[in-house]
Structure 1
Amino acid sequence: MTTSPCCSEYAALSRRGLLTGAVALAGATTVLGSAVVTTSAATTPASSVLVVVSLRGAADGLSLVVPHADPVYYTARPRIAIPSDRLLVKDGMFGLHPELAPLLPLWNAGRLATVHATGLPAPNRSHFSAMEEVEDANPGSSVREGWLNRLIGTDASRSPLQGLNMGEGTIPTSLFGAQPVMSAGDIDGVWIPGDDQWDATGGRRASLHRMWDGNASPLGRAMQSTFDAVDDFNPVRSTPDHADTYPRSDLGRALAEVARVIRGDVGVEVITVDQGNWDMHADLGTVEWGRMNRNAADFAGSLAAFFDDLGALAGKVTVVCLSEFGRRVAENANYGLDHGYGNVMFLAGAGVVGGYHAQWPGLSGDLDSDLTVTTDYRSVLAEVVEARFAASTSTVFPGFVRSRVGVMS
């Protein structure tokens, strides 16, 4: 058994702390949490599914959703601004980056929305600290517990299949907490090592059961729940893989796997996915070239392919895309942007009220200016939680008094 905690915040976990939680490994899959684990609800299809895509590295929301009517935008970015005549679905203030064209069918169907000038209640320009703060969504708390873990804890189920991180590496802070969750690099990695076609007699699995079934310790219970979770996940492994319809990228591959999970209908309710490389201090580029174009094209193409892949099941899936913070208003000397504050969030799918949403603060022309945050990102997430899960927003976001955004119906 191994675990893979990330960053310094998890280094403080003691051996005793790990062993009192339900932590187990099956193939490339981690089952993590400290609540009593069951899998009785695992085969119950989820009525709503939330997919959270984290744009790691601080995406520049002013390039993705351009405030073309704010004159400061063009003054502050003489080389990297997106020309107004190249923007998509312009209204009186905003337009989409041209590389987001694959998302136009969702936009035109009223199933894609953006919320601009969102972010943390106070600036935080440290990637790791801001990620943790965004994913904890409980400022000032010393409890290691993410908002998605609290969300799945609002019902009676304790199945580790409720929450899934799809990707290599560790479970994000948003899923970390008492409720059991799973993490997998890919669907085919959800298995018991040695329990394969070469073990004709089933000896490896039988040996593991003899070792753990009579063990009443937390680790023994964790192993037993792992056996059950892997078995309950089997319908997903038999679903077809449509990865050839997605961009050949990490995000495309991850969302293809997420679509398989949703089609498998084994009770997964919240899923996390990452897209990296948004930290563009240099070579963000122009409308014709640069890293922003490549990342935006991958983001849009992967998300569009995901909804196409889901077909009729898209009616129960909501996607939220967010980043840890935004970037400065003014470009730097390297065709890039330094760490900023306010940003844009994307929402797509079930329950979304399409279009541009914002309390626009206006941009400042100062060299070191940020986009001011006028909407706490938790207000957006709270509308998703309430609309799609009928869950207590005061439980998921303790002590937070939200403002109405109007992005969910």
Structure 2
Amino acid sequence: MTTSAARTASRTGDPCGCPDYAAATALSRRGFLRGLGLTGAAYAVGSAMVTYGAAPAMAAGVAPAPNGSVLVVLSMRGAADGLSLVVPHGDPAYYAARPRIAVPAAKLLGKDAFFGLHPNLAPLLPMWQSGELAAVHATGMAVANRSHFAAMELVEDANPGSSVRSGWLNRLLGGLDGDSPLQGVSIGSSSPPASLYGEQPVMSLRNISDAVVAGNDQWDTDQARLRSLSQMWGSSTAPMARGMRSAMAAVADLGPVRQEPENRAAYPDSDLGRALAAVARTIRGDVGVSLVTVDQGEWDMHADLGTLDWGAMKYNANDLATAIAAFFADLGSMRERVTLLTISEFGRRVSENSNYGLDHGWGNVMFLAGAGVKGGRYYGRWPGLENSLDADLTVTTDFRSVLSEVVLSRTDASAAQVFPGFTPEPVGVMVGR
């Protein structure tokens, strides 16, 4: 891609054309999981999907989330540049490494003596100032992996070396009470991410209107199709029958969500805006959701990450901040129960390349927002950039330490069950229980 073409693409949020990222996102998640030899079943409900692992699922039923808490995991697909989102203005090597794309210190928000937020994160500044938003820098995997495809799997499994293909969020569901597919929901895609795959039932849907029983439409006024399906599967003891009953029950349990208004006007007109609007609507419906995943793609900025005036970073940072701010405002009284965290498969190199962009790196930043977060602060041990390994930001905090702290603070699950064999280090970003 030429520089001018890349610049045009980045202004619209289109990908820069990294072959590895294109391959990772072109292959469907379900195809990827099948390619790994995973067991499980997926039951279509309209264009939504209810997914089960090896263990049979019982009928769904609305139940409150444990402790009333809800965890929202926002995946920044494509490897976001944490050094642009949270700028280490106090490290002179940052400006030396990025003579054209560095964010000026004078423009940073929420600035302390060393770090500051990208100016296009301005919609999140009120949350930062009120102590509801925090950042943990130099996070990532213990060993660098610069392949989008492999790194996504490793981050979402969060269990390196294991031959069992189960995601950390599915293991987390296994430590919570209840067995409804509505406890773990992926919104914005008709297939769940690897983090949700495993034995526990989950539900994935592009939007709320997708969650219907196929054929049960406006012409089926007497609900004959539902009665027929209930009769067909109601007395069967086959695993598929139990899954079908659970899927139909999950659709019925979404009734309160459909009654909630969709406040789309406050959100950006983007995939993330639409997805978070649906997430807020689902949480406000109070149907027992405990975990939700949502994606924001196209962070793979090899070319024309840009400056404050143009480029993909300007667009993505504003989209991220505007959508998250609208999401928390939209939650209303449910806001005090919701914690959101961001994660990306890896970070970008310290030094800019010749195309106003950045190549694949290692360390990154994680944002945490909402309930239980000790916000208005930057966390993590800064490794320094001058002698960074192979021009990378060195990881000093394993991402699982951050996730473990969220699990312990906001759920009744065991961090040892969610991250087997891992001993977390204290981060301090979450309120203890």
Q: TM-score, structure 2 length as denominator?
A: 0.90
* 3-state SS in 2 of match to 1:405: coil
**Are 2:185 and 2:291, in contact at CA under 8 Å, matched by a contact in 1?**
yes
Would the alpha carbon gap of residues 227 and 366 (structure 1) be closer, same or farther in structure 2, given more than 3 Å must change? closer
Deviation readout 1:151-184 (Å, 9 max, x if unpaired): 1101341111110000124210110000000000
* Identical aligned residues as a percent: 58
Question: What amino acid sits opposite 2:403 in the alignment?
Answer: L
Question: What is residue 11 of structure 1 aligned with on the other side?
Answer: 35
Select which of 412, 428, 432 maps to 1:390. 412
Select which of 30, 37, 47 maps to 2:49. 30
More deviation, 333-342/385-394:
385-394
**Are 1:326 and 1:341, in contact at CA under 8 Å, matched by a contact in 2?**
yes
Q: CA deviation at 1:211?
A: 2.5
Q: Distance in 1 between matches of 2:202 and 2:33?
A: 19
**Are 2:60 and 2:181, in contact at CA under 8 Å, matched by a contact in 1?**
no
Asked if 1:221 corresponds to 2:242, the answer is yes
Question: What is residue 226 of structure 2 aligned with on the other side?
Answer: 205
Q: CA deviation at 1:339?
A: 0.1
Q: CA deviation at 1:12?
A: 4.6
Q: CA deviation at 1:290?
A: 0.6
* 3-state SS in 1 of match to 2:331: helix
Q: Distance in 2 between matches of 1:253 and 1:334?
A: 31
* 3-state SS in 2 of match to 1:373: coil
Q: Distance in 1 between matches of 2:249 and 2:31?
A: 30
Would the alpha carbon gap of residues 39 and 217 (structure 1) be closer, same or farther in structure 2, given more than 3 Å must change? closer
Question: What amino acid sits opposite 1:6 in the alignment?
Answer: R
* 3-state SS in 1 of match to 2:50: strand
**Are 2:56 and 2:239, in contact at CA under 8 Å, matched by a contact in 1?**
no
Question: What amino acid sits opposite 2:299 in the alignment?
Answer: W
* 3-state SS in 2 of match to 1:164: strand
Select which of 172, 191, 196 maps to 1:151. 172
Question: What is residue 339 of structure 1 aligned with on the other side?
Answer: 360
Q: TM-score, structure 1 length as denominator?
A: 0.95
**Are 1:385 and 1:393, in contact at CA under 8 Å, matched by a contact in 2?**
yes
**Are 1:135 and 1:173, in contact at CA under 8 Å, matched by a contact in 2?**
yes
**Are 1:194 and 1:205, in contact at CA under 8 Å, matched by a contact in 2?**
no
Select which of 183, 191, 198 maps to 1:170. 191
* 3-state SS in 2 of match to 1:351: coil
Q: CA deviation at 1:289?
A: 1.0
Unaligned runs of 5+ in 2: 1-27
* 3-state SS in 2 of match to 1:6: helix
* 3-state SS in 1 of match to 2:391: coil
How do residues 202-351 of structure 1 correspond to structure 2 at under 5 angstroms?
Answer: 202-351=223-372
Question: What is residue 379 of structure 1 aligned with on the other side?
Answer: 401
Select which of 181, 206, 211 maps to 1:190. 211
Q: CA deviation at 1:367?
A: 9.9
Q: CA deviation at 1:131?
A: 0.7
Q: Distance in 1 between matches of 2:223 and 2:105?
A: 64
Asked if 1:404 corresponds to 2:423, the answer is no
Asked if 1:359 corresponds to 2:381, the answer is yes
**Are 1:135 and 1:174, in contact at CA under 8 Å, matched by a contact in 2?**
yes
Q: Distance in 2 between matches of 1:359 and 1:340?
A: 18
Q: Distance in 2 between matches of 1:33 and 1:366?
A: 43
Asked if 1:50 corresponds to 2:71, the answer is yes
Would the alpha carbon gap of residues 302 and 169 (structure 1) be closer, same or farther in structure 2, given more than 3 Å must change? same
The size of the alignment, in residue pairs, is 401
More deviation, 215-224/66-75:
215-224
Select which of 145, 162, 165 maps to 1:141. 162
Q: Distance in 1 between matches of 2:423 and 2:73?
A: 22
Question: What amino acid sits opposite 1:399 in the alignment?
Answer: G
**Are 1:145 and 1:177, in contact at CA under 8 Å, matched by a contact in 2?**
yes
